[in-house]
Structure 1
Amino acid sequence: MEMPLDTSFPSINEGGSELTRKLTHSEEAKLLKDTNLVSAFTQRKLEEDAKKNWDLFYKRNGTNFFKDRHWITKEFKELIGHDSGSTPGSRQILEVGCGVGNLLFPLLQDMGSNSNCFIYACDFSPRAVKFVRENALYSENNCHVFQCDLTVDNLCDIIIPSSLDFVTMVFVLSAINPEKMLKALRNVFLVLKPGGCVLFRDYGLYDYAQLRFKPGHKLSENFYVRQDGTRAYYFSLETITELFIMAGYETLQNAYVQKETVNKQMELCVPRIFVQSKFVKPCLS
């Protein structure tokens, strides 16, 4: 799950796997200098309190923290039946890390009232799930939300194995301990049908948010803790590809999305880097 950002994303950059943005000398020096890791005791505590910290996040911020992700069906047209082998209206989708519904409800609106598509949605935070259920747009006729820890709970307890056409993972894998990411991806693999696709977007390596962390927030390489106890990992294309391949997927698309967010009041130009990918569950031979 991501911190607030401008969500008017550009189209994907198909220019290969190398970053086009190079670190400045000061940025490179800052990262090289940040070698001291958070203590093992504190890291264990953060892992134990991960659910509580996200629940407190939603208690403090309610439903107004993140912007609605109206861009989702522009970037991933498959969700509404375009550029897809599935028949419009017959799809089953899972949104992993749904938060308070900032992707779920725009997606339902884009699909329209005539769609027979059914969307499952889950989140680590019970409070976030409660907010989704209380939304006036929520209806069990076309969606079902539930609380889930992807690294512990079996998705097959809720969803029929090998039944889903698509799974969206948008700014969620980065919040999971890197040691448990593979287990989460394998959990998702179980509910995807052969030929089903994971639509993925998350923080990219050297994103501005990564460079903002002060010393004392580093948990491991490219993994950091925020002031509120929530955590964030910053992916290279190589890292995310390796994870998905180890979990059994095949790579369909994988590239960096880059943009600049301008704060006119502070006269600050902020470089943002994200990873946007599509990974497919192989069809049965």
Structure 2
Amino acid sequence: MAQANDSDRAVGPGPTFPFKSTESSERTVSERELEKLKNDRILVSDFKQKKIEMEAQKNWDLFYKRNTTNFFKDRHWTTREFEELKACRKFDAQKLIMLEAGCGVGNCIFPLLEEDLNIFIYACDFSPRAVQFVKENHLYCSEQCLAFQCDLTKDDLKATIPEESLHVVTLVFVLSAIHPDKMRHALENIHKVLKVGGIVLFRDYGLYDHAMLRFKSASKLGENFYVRQDGTRSFFFSREYLANLFHQAGFHTLVNEYVLRETVNKREGLCVPRVFLQGKFQKCTRNACQ
């Protein structure tokens, strides 16, 4: 899985750092925007929703077939924004063991591997085609990386990754593509392979992001949950919803904040508000989250 599609891709696939502002409260929306959301009550039929769920992997595979490795930019910002990718080591020579959950075609993996030789990255994605692109990259090295196909909502990560072996998991623009009923299970799956005290570094779409307001009528699957024209889906998180979701899965919140910025498209004369949620969630010591 990866960041964006039709509605959100019209204003760019993702943020460029640094961000304009970080806030504890959600974006203030206009009366016109609120009215649009209030009147958007038509839900996709149950039959079509089941079909979309059944074809979720197929739709992501088709996305990568169309776009290959050319759509998303490499994420050279991750170590600047998430200092835990370096700071979590107890000593300089310690090898960092991490998982990139929803790795796409490797836009996060390969910049990290180029920057840090003392790292091993497990990389999984829902799409077999995306995983194949990772393996075909000239920077892919089995001594530093293991890419594998995985559905976080049903495949056991422990089949590939030793239990409680990871220092860090990155979950960037991934959880929003999963049905809300299955999000907790995905986080519990990740919880099992993290060390106690390990960190999940999270980034995804926030409530009232411009992409949310662009969805047309009859694209709504549920509250804050929408389907794009190509069948991929996007959920828009509030801070409260996200914190509760991680808490139920056994994590403690370290950071959970909105990131507000504007994306400028000079060619089309657009300046639109973007809202993202950025979080850092720690696997609790045993019984600490009860």
TM-score by length of 2: 0.93
Residue number in structure 1 paired with 2:3: 2
SS of 1:279's equivalent?
strand
Residue number in structure 2 paired with 1:65: 71
The separation in 1 between residues aligned to 2:192 and 2:253, in whole angstroms, is 17
Does the alignment pair 1:104 with 2:105?
no
SS of 2:171's equivalent?
strand
- Pair 1:235–1:276, CA change in 2 (3 A): same
- Pair 1:13–1:190, CA change in 2 (3 A): farther
Q: Is the 8 A contact 1:12 1:255 kept in 2?
A: no
After superposition, what is the alpha-carbon deviation per residue over 1:5-50, rounded to whole angstroms, capped at 9, x for unaligned? 353223585542x12x311121111101100100000000000000
User: Where in structure 2 are the equivalents of 1:130-141 lying within 5 Å?
Assistant: 130-141=132-143
Structure 1: stretches of 5+ with no match in the other structure: none
Structure 2: stretches of 5+ with no match in the other structure: 5-11
Aligned with 1:34 (options 9, 26, 40): 40
SS of 1:140's equivalent?
coil
Residue number in structure 2 paired with 1:91: 96
Q: Is the 8 A contact 2:21 2:261 kept in 1?
A: no
After superposition, what is the alpha-carbon deviation per residue over 1:204-263, rounded to whole angstroms, capped at 9, x for unaligned? 000011110000100000000000000000000000000000001001111011110111
SS of 1:205's equivalent?
coil
Q: CA RMSD in A?
A: 1.4
TM-score by length of 1: 0.94
The separation in 2 between residues aligned to 1:148 and 1:104, in whole angstroms, is 16
Percent identical: 56
Deviates more, 1:128-137 or 1:66-75: 66-75
Residue number in structure 2 paired with 1:172: 174
User: Where in structure 2 are the equivalents of 1:256-271 lying within 5 Å?
Assistant: 256-271=258-273
- Pair 1:238–1:120, CA change in 2 (3 A): same
Does the alignment pair 1:186 with 2:188?
yes
After superposition, what is the alpha-carbon deviation per residue over 1:136-171, rounded to whole angstroms, capped at 9, x for unaligned? 000101010000000110000000000100000000
Q: Is the 8 A contact 2:19 2:260 kept in 1?
A: no
Cα displacement (A) at 1:2: 1.2
The separation in 2 between residues aligned to 1:263 and 1:15, in whole angstroms, is 24
Does the alignment pair 1:255 with 2:260?
no
Matched length: 278
Equivalent AA in structure 2 for residue 221 of structure 1: E
The separation in 2 between residues aligned to 1:91 and 1:186, in whole angstroms, is 22
The separation in 2 between residues aligned to 1:141 and 1:245, in whole angstroms, is 34
